[in-house]
Amino acid sequence: MNIFFHELRAYRKSTIIWSCSLVLIIALFMSFYPAFANDAEDFQKIMEGYPEAIRNAIGFNLGNFFTILGFYCFPLSFITLCGAIQAMNLGTSIVSKEVREKTADFLLTKPVTRTKVLTSKLFAAFVSIVITNIIYLVVTMFMVFQVKTDDFSVKILILLSLTMFFIQLIFLAVGIMISVIVPKIKSVLSVSLTTVFAFYFLGMFSSTTGEEAKRYISPFKYFDTAYIIKHSGYETSFLVAGAVIIILAITASYFVYLKKDIHAV
């Protein structure tokens, strides 16, 4: 429990910064909605000039863009990118920071098992992500109610917002696995940015081809906002795919961490 609270305190500044950043992004974007709604017809003519492949790549859906929920989906794609970077940073630093700061052997001399160490660190990172999502969701709902020009489904708004949380869980698990497997990570940020942007651009590429199977390549495409708005739910096959990635990554992390050699300073 002491490890958990220590890690949570260590993530406090990062959690505050990421939460404030996401809140500012959504507040800025949603403040533009009334202007877009008033000039919907003119703006739609402009966007129709862009190729459909480009519109799909950036998550732009002409069918519902000028509704409050459709407009919200546009900044959501960038917000989930930021959220993924936060989660990847947390996951990658869970074990690697002990090696980088040369405190790994000191930590493991304490009367706690490796399982408890990794579990406490993992739970602290999870709580940090939960706090970020709660703050983000509260501010998002407040902003949407402030700028809405027509009625909307609160349930769908929550479902759309939670896509960031699910994507964060996937990248948190992947980050933990990388942190455990790679012997020494000199820069957590460079690893996080490279991994997240690689999957993000793979997701954009899969959208341009229109092939359903290629969506499984990138977690960013596991949650189709148009589908969520239309069906008020998620696609089961992609939820299962995400859950499998999380389970396999975390299981592999525990397996490797319990058996790997920790070098003394």
- Short-list 229, 17, 35, 264, CA closest to 132: 17
pLDDT for res 264: 47
The beta strand positions in 29-144, using DSSP E, are: none
pLDDT for res 148: 84
CA atoms of 126 and 169, how far apart (whole Å): 8
The beta strand positions in 111-215, using DSSP E, are: none
The set of residues, in sequence order, having a beta carbon less than 8 Å from that of 253 and lying 6+ positions away, is 118, 173, 176, 177, 179, 180
The pTM of the full predicted model, rounded to 2 decimals, is 0.88
DSSP code for 214 = G
Q: At what angle are helices 114-147 and 154-181 packed, to 10 degrees?
A: 150
10-residue block means of pLDDT along the chain (265 residues)? 81 92 92 78 65 60 74 89 94 74 54 80 93 95 87 91 96 92 81 90 75 84 89 92 95 86 53
* Amino acid at site 207: S
